[in-house]
Structure 1
Amino acid sequence: MDATPRIVLDTNVCLDLFVFDDPRCGRLRDALHAGDVIAVTSASCREEWLRVLCYPQLALDGAAREAAAARFDALMQRCPPCPDGEEGAAQPLRCSDPDDQKFLDLALRAGARWLLSRDDHLLALARRARREGLFEILAPQEWGSIHAG
């Protein structure tokens, strides 16, 4: 088994990283390119990613959407799917926003060390996730400051 730590990125962090080139994600970007962490995704997380890229408020043309999707696919490793009916079944953390539950499920299933998010519903579970020894839930800039050179 690969000892490289796994990390889950929610859709907003992916936007910061793959669309907006947000400098707050610089350390994360460097760590991904260096292979210091492995970012994992699932089919449902990738489907959400592709759907969000089409949101009119992002004003991305076809070429920009394709480029963002390609950057995502180049750096994200697919986690094998759960057998039918098992996703979330044994998850000790429940998100108050059902749309965000897939990121918690993925982090647990993939054995992730971190879940990076800017979503208040997910960040609210950080203390409990840490206390239960599951994984850390952090904002990307917080992760970057902890993992500074």
Structure 2
Amino acid sequence: MNEAYAGRALVLDTNIALDLLLFADPAAEPLARALEAGRHVWLATPAMREEFRRVLDYPQIVPRRRFHGLEAATLLERYDAASHSVAPAPRAPVVCRDADDQKFIDLAVAYRAVLLSKDRAVLATRRRLVAHGVRAARDYTAGFPEPAPTLSPPPLAERGPA
């Protein structure tokens, strides 16, 4: 693990990257702010970038790109600007059912990163990943102990006894 990333490393699966860079998902706003502020560092391998590039041309994604007026090249530039490219990680002791998702797990284990994913196969490894210093979560606010600065506190009924 590179100590420069200790406690700040994130690994984002392709769906989270799409939420962040293409879909303008409001749930990705705290993540975008954390990356921009340098509180966390998004780590990605060339294979992850290549997967993102391929997905941008999927038939269900092209209309969304057009809706937002974004070319694939622009989204790849955003990907490159937001992420830090690192070498592929060695195979982790935690194995994912979906071989295409293994690269995300491998990198998260190598850097003891928080792994953000919407993929069921990846999220099914959560308990096993904890033993390797990795937290896996569906979104930024669920994956970190600190609250996002712009989120309101939960209603009193959800807070529990005072």
Q: TM-score range by the shorter chain?
A: 0.7 to 0.9
1:6 is aligned to 2:9: yes
Structure label with greater radius of gyration = 2
Separation in structure 2 between the aligned mates of residue 46 and residue 57 of structure 1, nearest angstrom: 19
- Check whether the contact 1:24–1:144 (CA below 8 A) recurs between aligned residues: no
Query: TM-score, length-normalised on structure 2?
Result: 0.79
Separation in structure 2 between the aligned mates of residue 143 and residue 134 of structure 1, nearest angstrom: 13
CA deviation string 1:8-57 (max 9, x = no partner): 00000001000101011111110000000000000111110111111121
Say which SS state the counterpart of residue 42 (structure 2) adopts: strand
- Check whether the contact 2:88–2:103 (CA below 8 A) recurs between aligned residues: no
Separation in structure 1 between the aligned mates of residue 95 and residue 121 of structure 2, nearest angstrom: 10
Say which SS state the counterpart of residue 56 (structure 1) adopts: coil
Amino acid in structure 2 at the alignment position of 1:35: G
Separation in structure 1 between the aligned mates of residue 27 and residue 51 of structure 2, nearest angstrom: 23
Separation in structure 2 between the aligned mates of residue 145 and residue 136 of structure 1, nearest angstrom: 11
Structure-2 residue corresponding to 1:126? 126
Say which SS state the counterpart of residue 24 (structure 2) adopts: coil
Structure-2 residue corresponding to 1:33? 36
1:70 is aligned to 2:77: yes
1:52 is aligned to 2:55: yes
RMSD: 2.0
Displacement, 1:134?
A: 2.4
Q: Which has the higher contact order (CA 8 A, sep 6+)?
A: 1
Displacement, 1:142?
A: 1.9
Relative to structure 1, is the Cα distance of residues 49 and 114 closer, same or farther in structure 2, using a 3 angstrom cutoff?
Answer: same
| Number of aligned residues | 141
Unaligned runs of 5+ in 2: 150-162
Displacement, 1:148?
A: 2.1
- Check whether the contact 1:25–1:144 (CA below 8 A) recurs between aligned residues: no
Amino acid in structure 2 at the alignment position of 1:119: D
Displacement, 1:70?
A: 1.0
CA deviation string 1:37-96 (max 9, x = no partner): 0000001111101111111211235952112111110010011245xxxx31xx110000
Q: Percent identity?
A: 36
Structure-2 residue corresponding to 1:79? 86
Q: List, as ranges, runs of 4+ consecutive aligned residues in structure 1 with deviation greater than 4 Å.
A: none
